[in-house]
Amino acid sequence: MKHYQILIIGGGTAGITIAAQLKLKDSSLKMAIIEPSDKHYYQPAWTLVGAGTFDFKETIRNEGDYIPKGVDWIKDKAIGIDPETNMVSTEKSGDFTYDFLVPVPGMIMAPELLPGLTEAMDKGVVCSNYTDPEHTWEVLKNFKGGNAVFTQPTTPIKCGGAPQKIMYLAEDYFRKQGIRDKTNVLFATPGTVIFGVPAFAKTLNKIIQDRNILFKPFFAPVRIDAEKQEITFRYTKPGETNYTIMEGNPLGEEMTGPLEIKIHFDMLHLAPPQATPKFIRDSKISIQEGPGKGWVDVDIHTMQHKRYPNIFSIGDVAHLPTAKTGAAIRKQAPVLVENLIRLIQSGKVGEKSYEGYSSCPIVTGYGKMLLCEFKYDNVQDSDPLISTFVDTTKEQYSMWLLKKYGLPFMYWNLMLRGKA
């Protein structure tokens, strides 16, 4: 059985960034990454692919080109973690033991959690930038008017802002095509507000109002009928026992129960329900009961596991009360690396602390973007340097350029090399 000083599960944004930073700090570390995929995807650009303004091929690179030198690549799937014996099982390569474990496999799409979605996914007028952004672009180009419905599930999702980014771009595209006047653009979310941080919510609420976008909070999708092109929502506002359809009812809403509303769609874009991989959920490293059930049980500041001190985790599978984005990983990784290195060297975990920083670059149209940066408790946390030059609470062309050109460059050349 092969043994590693540090074993990383997952060769996505978190896994590669951590491995690269660890190697830069101490090249003698004996490390491996367990990752089955040949390809590495830059998913933040998929919003732009779905709107026809970024080439999908440009978002894909070879995984092997980014595994840091001196780190073994176990090209396989992890299928089990036993923290009691410090062992990880894989599908084909057997078992591996470790001194320190960093499980960062990312989330998986779980369309089966929304009845009707598996059959409808990425076919006809049902699309998702999360799974096939090129299909989203086809749907947009073929749309001739009617109800364009954008929604998201009740589960945690990667980049909570993504479901609304494509909605703003689609709405802008319909204007450019001259079909906006015969289109209802609906953004339905199980959430309570358009965005959690007040300064950014103010701007987004104004955009929604000015552009006549229908916004429905407390709308949780419960069923999809792809053949009839109908989606059913449950109204989840606390204390409400029934839902009242608006006068005029532009969407043609139909009540199918006191709190159930059926809406016809001529196109539907949604983020599928998402979950942690089964081997994480089934392992003792995940929270066993309660609201965080199935997510890795880490300290929200140090990234160290609460029950197994030789395990650290960040990113999408870690139970952290902030948005699951690449920008969050960029701030989490150095904390994990510093604290883990200290633990290896001195037997005591380091004191570096993560304060919940995440950012959500919300594209609000072609050539316009709002850079929403925040930390724990939805406190605005804008970059002091950028804020000196631009008001990040307003739509900016410069931020669009950052999204389209600056961030992908930084990702491939700096972040994945451990330098950003």
Q: For the chain, what is the largest distance between any 2 Cα atoms, rounded to a whole number of angstroms?
A: 69
Q: Three-state DSSP class for 388?
A: helix
189 vs 183: CA distance, rounded Å: 19
- Cα–Cα distances in angstroms (integers) from residue 154 to residues 113, 203, 265, 317, in the given order: 10, 24, 20, 16
- How far does CA 228 lie from the centroid of its chain? 30
Sheet hosting strand 260-264, strand order edge to edge: 219-225, 230-235, 260-264, 254-257
Look at the block and give the residue holding tokens 């204007």. Answer: 175
Q: Residue 321 has which token pair?
A: 């009360």
Question: Which one of the listed residues 9, 159, 268, 337 is annotated catalytic?
Answer: 159
Q: Say if residues 315 and 332 touch (Cβ distance below 8 Å).
A: yes
Nearest to 166 by CA among 329, 31, 48: 48
246 vs 232: CA distance, rounded Å: 16
372 is catalytic: no
Residues 6+ apart with CB under 8 A from 301: 335, 353, 354, 355
Q: Residue 373 has which token pair?
A: 């940066």
Q: Say if residues 231 and 223 touch (Cβ distance below 8 Å).
A: yes
Question: Which one of the listed residues 8, 270, 360, 370 is annotated catalytic?
Answer: 360
Helices (H), 55-129: 117-120
Residue 364, class by beta-carbon neighbours within 10 Å (0-12 exposed, 13-18 middle, 19+ buried)? buried
The packing angle between helices 326-346 and 13-25, to 10°, is 40
For the annotated catalytic residues, the residue numbers are 159, 360
